[in-house]
Amino acid sequence: MSYRVLAAVIAVALLATGCGNRSGGSAGQGSGDVQGKVFTSTSVTEQGTPRAMVEGTRVELRFTDDGRLLANAGCNQMQGPVTLDGGKLQVTDLSSTAMGCPSPDLHKQDAWLSKLLSAGPSWKMDGSNLVITGSGAEIVLSAEAPAKLEGGTWKLESLVQADAVSSVPGRVPATLKFADGKVSVFTGCNDGSASYKVDGQTITFDSLVHTDKACGADETAAEKAVVAALSGQATYKIDRSTLTLTNAKGEGVQFKK
């Protein structure tokens, strides 16, 4: 083979390589691109045409920090260990809850997503979007940003005691509002406030004061839990739209935005 022919072959190969990456995405950059994040679908296509999703549903994929995938298509929760090597999403032992879904279409949608994920689809990041491709289907998902501590109202969702989480007695409507180093508190009965400082995943509350009206049994129980979480130092964690505050005794509260 002459040098001229060899040069032409190399040029064609390089051109083909460049053309192969014109989609704007990069296949399987690494688990760090998705680990610890939640993605929700913005478009779902099948055989090149939009796939109709059950009204009010979307595909949700959550990649945990310990290497698991949690998936949902509107009814049952699926999960299993996941690897992302070589641009392939491989889920082993994908299990699912067995809730009775409100409609047969939701069951079919669950089965469709389970089949897609179990077949080892390809994945890539296209900007900040995650693209899953396989079995004639493509799902484009956007990263879901967690709620911010400040701004808006946190509403009491549950009480935490060691590893046990319980519902709020009487659904008492306690709330927190964080802004500029001050948290405004409604315990479900009394109003109050405290100053706070954030250091990493620790919040130090100081000078908590509140009114002292007589409250019912449910309101008193909720108030006791909220005040305990806001007294001194607490660890905090924001998971999507849920804020968990836990004191040194392992007691805490969960709020949602």
| Tens digit of each residue's pLDDT (9 = 90 or more) over 65-75 | 899 999 999 99
Extract the tokens encoding 90. Answer: 């491989």
What is the architecture of the domain spanning 26-143? Beta Barrel (2.40)
Least confident of 13-27, 155-169, 200-214, 228-242: 13-27
Residue 191, SS3? strand
Summarize pLDDT for 186-224 with one digit per residue, the tens. 999 999 999 999 999 999 999 999 999 999 999 999 999
CATH 2.40.128.270 positions along the chain are 26-143, 154-256
pLDDT of residue 92: 87
Beta bridge partners of 137: 46, 134
% of the chain residues with pLDDT over 90: 77
pLDDT (average), residues 73-78: 95
pLDDT mean across residues, the chain: 88
**CATH hierarchy code of domain 154-256:** 2.40.128.270
pLDDT (average), residues 4-15: 41
pLDDT (average), residues 70-88: 96
Beta bridge partners of 83: 90
Summarize pLDDT for 48-61 with one digit per residue, the tens. 999 999 999 999 99
